[in-house]
Structure 1
Amino acid sequence: MPFVARKLEPKFLCRGHVPYGSGAARDWPVGAELEAAANGALSGSLKQLASLLGAAEDIFAELTTELTGIAERSAKLRRRIDRVEESLLAQDPKKIPVRRPFSSG
């Protein structure tokens, strides 16, 4: 089971409060409370998307590092395979002695 590297949880967007100051709420026009709640929900969702973007950026940076390492190891392995292939092609199969199996009897 893999370890949790990042924990992303959604936050409650509309759990803010309408700011009540020194009589400022009484001077608001009708429906201003809804607009304040909508603005709070929008800013909360933008903050969550920004944190999600940061986590995705970290994931892709780690993935790029891992894939770069895999590409380097693959290239090294390819070079080794090419060297073995060259040495096999240089050998003459007719000149290589073949041992006979032991005969019982």
Structure 2
Amino acid sequence: MPLGKRSVHPRHLCRAVLPDGISSELECVTNTTFSAIIHQLSSLSKQAEDVFGELFSEAATFYLRAKSLQDRINLLTFKVTQLDSSIEEVSLQDINMRKAFRSVTLHDQQVVSKSNIPNSVAEMYNSSDKPPSLNILSEYRDDHIEAMKFYTDPSYYFDLWMKKRLQEMENMRKERGRAREQKPYVDRTMSQDVIKVRKAHNRRHQWNMMVLDKELRPSCSPHHQTRLNHSHSSVH
């Protein structure tokens, strides 16, 4: 349900109860309507002042943020123009020792609270009817729940969000435990025994095996056999 932030009163200008003993009802209704119009214009001017006040506050906040950003840009521009790559040398060790840039992110908290609500909403809240005195029935409840929470509960949405987050954390914990159970167990002692050590390369043995393989082949040409014998004699 939408909530009206501002409202102009009175809305019905001609609705009024005429007092008794009025000689001219038309004149009474006309005067009542005129006074209601003046009251409505006064309420409209008050709401307009509130609107322009909020616009001024937002514009001032935007100006301060823009000014701070402009000051940072000017400082950075001055530092960049003062740098000279032919004179100043930065070693690789100095670059690695410097910390990486990290922006400061401020998260807004308590956006909707009594301390920062607009004046128009605060007036509507203060002019509304007070809740009934249901707290006197809390001592008669066996579940130790405040009776007022059945009528109005400001912490309802926070409690609902907290329950949802706790449920998500519990589901994540169960998923991790299930994945840990399904993961095959690896015996590190057995795996160390099965490890095969790579043998060192022996070039002389490789050449001998190649020569022996060539000698056993009958299709080897005399010229190729001469080259193999030469390489075999050079190895020995």
Report the TM-score when normalising by structure 2: 0.33
Structure of larger gyration radius:
2
Q: How does 1:1-105 map to 2 (within 5 A)?
A: 4-8=4-8, 11-21=11-21, 25=22, 28=23, 32-92=24-84
CA RMSD in angstroms, aligned pairs only: 2.6
Query: CA separation in 2, counterparts of 1:12 and 1:88?
Result: 66
Query: CA separation in 1, counterparts of 2:68 and 2:20?
Result: 67
Q: Which runs of 5+ in 2 are unaligned?
A: 90-236
Task: State whether residues 9 and 43 of structure 2, in contact with CA within 8 Å, keep that contact through their aligned partners in structure 1.
Answer: no
Residue identity in the other structure for 1:11: R
Query: CA separation in 2, counterparts of 1:90 and 1:52?
Result: 57
Q: SS at the partner of 1:87?
A: helix
Query: CA separation in 2, counterparts of 1:38 and 1:80?
Result: 63
Runs of 4+ in 1 over 2 A off after TM superposition: 2-10, 92-97
Task: State whether residues 17 and 37 of structure 1, in contact with CA within 8 Å, keep that contact through their aligned partners in structure 2.
Answer: no
Shift of 1:88: 1.2
Deviations 1:24-72 (A, max 9, x none): x3xx3xxx32221111111111111111111111122122111111111
Task: State whether residues 16 and 40 of structure 1, in contact with CA within 8 Å, keep that contact through their aligned partners in structure 2.
Answer: yes
Query: CA separation in 1, counterparts of 2:63 and 2:18?
Result: 54
- The structure with higher relative contact order (CA 8 Å, sep 6+) is 1
Query: CA separation in 1, counterparts of 2:67 and 2:56?
Result: 16
In the comparison of the two structures, how many residue pairs are matched?
88
Change (3 A) 1:79 1:35: same
Q: Which runs of 5+ in 1 are unaligned?
A: 98-105
Task: State whether residues 9 and 39 of structure 2, in contact with CA within 8 Å, keep that contact through their aligned partners in structure 1.
Answer: no
